[in-house]
């Protein structure tokens, strides 16, 4: 029977951060697929830059009912947190970035953020919504609890908030002066959500003790991939070389930390020799944050090439311009003399399937990855994965079947896995075939969105019903 308009419900999905990381992609795919499960969606999200820029919320969430909270003026202000609206804080502390780590944000700035997001939620019609979906644990949670307490709230942990909380609980080594207040806030917000979505079975076990949440309210809700964009369309031979020529020579976006300008790292035609050789291409995708272990990946790759004698290129795709933690990848490349490592820069998520299909293996050495979105997307394109045997990646990659799991922070283990992937093409292709089947069976976004819709239905049908672990 066709669903009537009256039967439809609406959720307001809120995201403090401008589009630059995995949670923005999760929001977009969820918003695109929830209507088929009976839920209309309004997205309220941070935004940076003008139309056409990937960090602009209206551009990133095109085709979706989106209400941007524009940070462009705040990013250039002498005190970004004193602007209106205040600039987003962050869970990480990074050099030169306008976003201050949450644990250094004082009460006055906190109250300004809460007030700004209360207005944004009101303008998006949160008072009339059937549910509010709060991505991360941020001051948006406080705005929702104060101003829309009658609307059921679903929290969604994407992992970075847990990393900050872990550092606070370990003894506040950075001298964050407001760490205690923020730790208490994060835990209170988590406790007050009627359901808390987490990305892995590991998080299902860990989050109740870390945040003080009843285990039955924690729901495993893995991320997925868009089957309309991610699929096997492998590029080989001249087509593959032409792809990397476009990304590395004709449209360079890699950036030097001294200039922080996209395109400041440039390649020449002769630099493409490793791609023309037919050697397998290893691909890292993500930000330049410390937990991602990009320098470790570069050093392990150099050891793998020494071991195999094959000039297999490693492409580093990502790194939001001007933003990094610790050692910048270009510094590692210069220190190691690595000639087969290429910085392809920040690209739109719609471009990622092309990059994956011009590669042979996805590498993610991140030691505290709560999920591992790019692993699933790479598998959906038929690529095996090399990942650290911890947290989310350990639940995605089947060791020896769909890829390699290595010891966290073990350069030798990572180098050995890379060497095997380079030197054993038949095994690599067999793993890729199994990875493809596993991704399509487990992680397609339409099916995952239906599971989340059932969580919304549960909390709306009867807020007093006994809690359940999640959708069947």
List the chain pLDDT tens, one digit each, 472 residues: 344 444 789 999 999 999 987 889 899 999 999 999 999 999 999 999 999 998 999 999 999 999 999 999 999 999 999 999 999 999 988 777 889 999 999 999 999 999 999 999 999 999 999 999 999 999 999 999 999 999 999 999 998 898 899 889 988 677 899 999 999 999 999 999 999 999 888 889 999 999 999 999 999 998 888 888 999 999 999 999 999 999 999 999 999 998 889 999 999 999 999 999 999 999 999 989 888 999 999 999 999 999 999 999 999 999 988 888 889 999 999 999 998 999 999 998 889 999 999 999 999 999 888 788 899 999 999 999 999 998 889 989 999 999 999 999 999 999 999 999 999 999 999 999 999 999 998 888 888 899 999 999 999 985 644 444 333 3
One domain, residues 257 and 389: yes
- Cα–Cα separations (whole angstroms), residue 359 to 70, 162, 279, 314: 36, 32, 10, 9
DSSP 248: I
Taking the C-alpha atoms of residue 36 and residue 207, their distance in angstroms, rounded to an integer, is 30
Phi and psi of 222, rounded to 5°?
-65, 155
Asked if 449 and 34 count as a contact pair (C-beta separation under 8 A), the reply is yes
Query: What pLDDT score was predicted for residue 425?
Result: 97
Query: Is 0.75 topped by the overall pTM?
Result: no
Q: Is 165 exposed, middle or buried (0-12, 13-18, 19+ CB in 10 A)?
A: buried
Sequence-distant (≥ 6) Cβ neighbours of residue 136 within 8 angstroms: 15, 16, 17, 23, 156, 157, 158, 160, 161
One domain, residues 200 and 315: no
One domain, residues 150 and 279: no
The answer as to whether 229 is a domain residue is: no
One domain, residues 138 and 263: no
One domain, residues 247 and 316: yes
Number of folded domains that form the chain? 2
One domain, residues 87 and 165: yes
Query: What pLDDT score was predicted for residue 462?
Result: 58
One domain, residues 241 and 383: yes
One domain, residues 269 and 379: yes
One domain, residues 93 and 195: yes
Q: How many CA atoms lie within 13 A of 219 on its CB side?
A: 26
CATH code at position 383: 3.40.50.2000
Sequence-distant (≥ 6) Cβ neighbours of residue 370 within 8 angstroms: 157, 158, 159, 162, 198, 199, 200, 203, 391, 392
Taking the C-alpha atoms of residue 348 and residue 370, their distance in angstroms, rounded to an integer, is 22
Query: What pLDDT score was predicted for residue 76?
Result: 94
- Cα–Cα separations (whole angstroms), residue 179 to 120, 186, 326: 26, 11, 21
The answer as to whether 182 is a domain residue is: yes
The answer as to whether 68 is a domain residue is: yes
List pLDDT tens digits, range 32-79. Answer: 999 999 999 999 999 999 999 989 999 999 999 999 999 999 999 999
One domain, residues 271 and 208: no
One domain, residues 42 and 29: yes
One domain, residues 310 and 400: yes
Sequence-distant (≥ 6) Cβ neighbours of residue 213 within 8 angstroms: 190, 191, 193, 196, 207
Taking the C-alpha atoms of residue 26 and residue 225, their distance in angstroms, rounded to an integer, is 9
Phi and psi of 192, rounded to 5°?
-85, -5
The answer as to whether 467 is a domain residue is: no
The answer as to whether 305 is a domain residue is: yes
Q: Is 306 helix (H, G, I), strand (E, B) or coil?
A: helix
Query: What pLDDT score was predicted for residue 463?
Result: 60
The answer as to whether 377 is a domain residue is: yes
Query: What pLDDT score was predicted for residue 467?
Result: 41
**Full residue range of the structural domain in which residue 316 is found:** 237-442
The answer as to whether 85 is a domain residue is: yes
The answer as to whether 231 is a domain residue is: no
Q: Are strands 385-388 and 361-364 parallel, antiparallel or unpaired?
A: parallel
């Amino acid at each position: 029977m066709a669903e009537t308009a009256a039967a439809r419900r609406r959720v307001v999905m809120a995201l403090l951060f401008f589009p630059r990381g995995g949670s923005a992609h999760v929001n977009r795919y969820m918003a695109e697929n929830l209507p088929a499960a009976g839920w209309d969606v309004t997205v309220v999200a941070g935004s940076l830059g003008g139309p056409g820029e990937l960090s602009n919320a209206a551009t990133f969430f095109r085709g979706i009912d989106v209400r941007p909270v524009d940070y462009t003026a705040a990013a250039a202000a002498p005190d970004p947190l004193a602007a209106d609206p205040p600039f987003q804080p962050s869970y990480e502390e990074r050099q030169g970035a306008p976003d201050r780590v949450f644990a250094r944000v004082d009460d006055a700035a906190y109250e300004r953020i809460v007030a700004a997001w209360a207005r944004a939620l009101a303008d998006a019609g949160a008072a009339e919504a059937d549910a509010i979906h709060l991505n991360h644990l941020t001051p948006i949670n406080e705005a929702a609890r104060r101003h829309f307490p009658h609307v059921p709230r679903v929290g969604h942990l994407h992992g970075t908030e847990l990393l900050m909380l872990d550092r606070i609980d370990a003894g506040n080594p950075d001298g964050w002066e407001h760490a205690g207040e923020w730790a208490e806030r994060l835990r209170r917000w988590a406790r007050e959500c009627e359901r808390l979505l987490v990305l892995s079975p590991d998080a299902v076990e860990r989050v109740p003790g870390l945040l003080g949440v009843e285990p039955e309210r924690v729901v495993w809700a893995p991320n997925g991939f868009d089957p309309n964009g991610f699929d096997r369309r492998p590029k080989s031979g001249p087509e593959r070389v032409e792809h990397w020529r476009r990304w590395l020579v004709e449209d360079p976006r890699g950036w030097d930390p001294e200039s922080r300008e996209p395109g400041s790292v440039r390649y020449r035609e002769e630099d493409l020799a490793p791609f023309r050789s037919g050697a397998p291409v290893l691909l890292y995708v993500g930000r330049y944050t410390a937990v991602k272990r990009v320098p470790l990946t570069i050093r392990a790759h150099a050891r793998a090439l020494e071991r195999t004698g094959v000039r297999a290129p490693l492409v580093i795709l990502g790194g939001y311009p001007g933003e990094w933690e610790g050692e910048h990848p270009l510094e590692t490349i210069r220190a190691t003399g690595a000639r087969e490592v290429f910085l392809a820069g920040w690209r739109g998520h719609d471009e990622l399937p092309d990059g994956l299909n011009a590669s042979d293996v996805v590498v993610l050495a991140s030691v505290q990855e709560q999920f591992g979105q790019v692993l699933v997307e790479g598998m959906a394109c038929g690529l095996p994965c090399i990942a650290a045997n911890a947290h989310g990646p350990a639940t995605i990659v089947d060791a020896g079947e769909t890829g390699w799991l290595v010891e966290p922070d073990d350069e030798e283990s990572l180098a050995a896995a890379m060497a095997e992937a380079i030197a054993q093409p038949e095994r690599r292709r067999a793993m890729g075939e199994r990875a493809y089947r596993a991704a399509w069976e487990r992680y397609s976004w339409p099916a995952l969105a239906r599971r989340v819709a059932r969580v919304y239905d549960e909390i709306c049908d009867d807020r007093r019903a006994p809690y359940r672990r999640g959708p069947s």
